[in-house]
Structure 1
């Protein structure tokens, strides 16, 4: 197992991405600590993981609250001994944030994703690193879609927010890798299995005057494989990158876009 006896913290675990990664980590032997604002959804996920032979714990944690993050990490470390992996998969509602030309976008709608994502990833990364540095090991992971690297219209503040996350990932590595703490970002296409993709694609489809299915097909056609990244592909890559087999990988973005972005 890639992550046997590792302790992995998942922020935003009730979402599609967080849940998929949590299940993959558990299958690889990690004890997963599921956090978010909806305890009921977290408990349902934990029950499924436990029923499949994994180990899951839940906690209501606001990933924008540094004190809450720190207290939870201290509780996990006190019980389990180490903090080995931190994966932040939080999301925010996309209405009014995408699908609007910049010339018509309200300033608060532009700045909201930048402020939210950078604050949350800084706080979860900082608090994890403080404990990982002390133990001499750890991995911090984050996820960004293709607009982080491309000039795509009607993205509002989302593209700058995701680009900032990738920059923050590099800074994490520059400061912490020397202490044994790796930082890696995973970049995907929009994933059609996620519960929010119909909203996101719908906002763009409406702006183009086409159907959601037509917009999804247009996005898939831009990849070399002619299909979107799947949740399973993201989760499998995250498990590998969190493992000791990826020990040389840090300060970079793992390109899982299937050719949408060509490095």
Structure 2
């Protein structure tokens, strides 16, 4: 393939734009905020599981306390009924039976109230644990929101740079021979780099220094010959820095 030395030199300008675009694309995919958001999201998932378990513990205690309160209320109702019957008087055996039942109900009420008090203390501890995990959830959510804001700001900056680079690439590529750009794009899409400066006898693509017949081939090529590296197959652009 033939192309003027000037067109070949301008190919390096096109490569510089494409390299910048590739770097921006890499930056978009490798922003530290992305890893941070992913890590915090996993943390939030684990914390949410912990919060659910803490909430279940509180709910279970609430249900148990409610059951005890109903049992205590039933005992109170029975005590009031027996007390009224006792106050109304009656046969000695009946009075003794009521007194015995009242004593039994008093013990039962005391036992239930003690058990309820213990559950209420457990609930207080469980509620503190729930509040603590909820606090960690809120803090982690704030960290994720902050990271997402930084990510969005970085994305906006990258997009702006990409739009600027892309707008400059079009006219630059259109100004070059179509067959040269087609070859360059094919190589670039395969290897990430389509053209590189041949400097001081070394390919700027694979960094291999040429000797002997390979170097002689480059020296013997006409100025408008499009020369490619035998090793990496990239276009080697010759300039005054090439040392030929």
Normalising by structure 1, we get a TM-score of 0.19
Larger RCO, structure (CA 8 Å, separation 6 or more): 2
- Bigger Cα Rg: 2
TM-score by length of 2: 0.20
